[in-house]
Structure 1
């Protein structure tokens, strides 16, 4: 079988060899244990694909600690068992029903391109995202209810408010999944939402009333 795949760039190969010679070698027993006993993460983290959001680095997490799922704008779609392919929903199902994570964290961030794109689309400034063929646009439709809640704010506040709505909408959608709701109501799972400021490094988290405060 032929393939269009090419070898890794040299700088990535060099970094891999450096990691294997240091971090892996120094912790070989731990990696062996993870391989043999399987993963038992206490938390699932749903964060943005943005390369500036370094989830494990922010929390000093080691291998095996977080079950991490990343997508554009850290969104969770509503429960929709339609027989189609749903990557985020599948990751969520596996984390809650198989791994039995105790914490499920939605982590948004400032300067999110996906959120800015959603704002532009909903405001009528990005017609290309309204096209049915736009994967990004159809994914960002998840956040339209959040846009409706911020559209009457002063214009210079809307995008940052929508970044927080991306977290709130995802938390709301989580509870439409029967297995999430059951785990939350039984006390086996707790939900958390936060926004990371990539400029100053701060975190704000949401409380039960939907208000954000600094961690």
Structure 2
């Protein structure tokens, strides 16, 4: 349908997504590929304002409003940036997509998967990633990483129980859609993980 490819990265907070996205970006630029790197929420003027609201730890947001705000940011990003980039033949690398909403709001916040999928059906406009990389690591191994961060956001300061629910949500989601995710053991060395991801990306580009 599109000339380009959409690669999304998923994982619990502290799983190493940012590191691996930056390494993949470096590799793809070195081999001369035209890429766009984006994050959720954000990526557009409106999306970045929504991001400020969502991640500000001073804000207490009810789960339904949280899910709707994520979907609003996503709708802007999909229609304003992602689809045009894919139509131009670019490789789009996206830090989180609808899977995150299903897990964080659907499972961890208790809204229900079907509710979150319905909210996002308009936002994603039928868009499905060509590859979703899931960095698999348990919360007990990431909480120390998060604790070392100086300026934690509203989700990062959630308690251990919340992060456990997020992890369990990812496990249930992956089990419900076998074959949809490329699962990488995120406890390995950074550069080993990079190689594994590059090998998989090379299959689709």
TM-score (norm 1): 0.34
Whose helix proportion is higher, 1 or 2?
2
TM-score (norm 2): 0.35
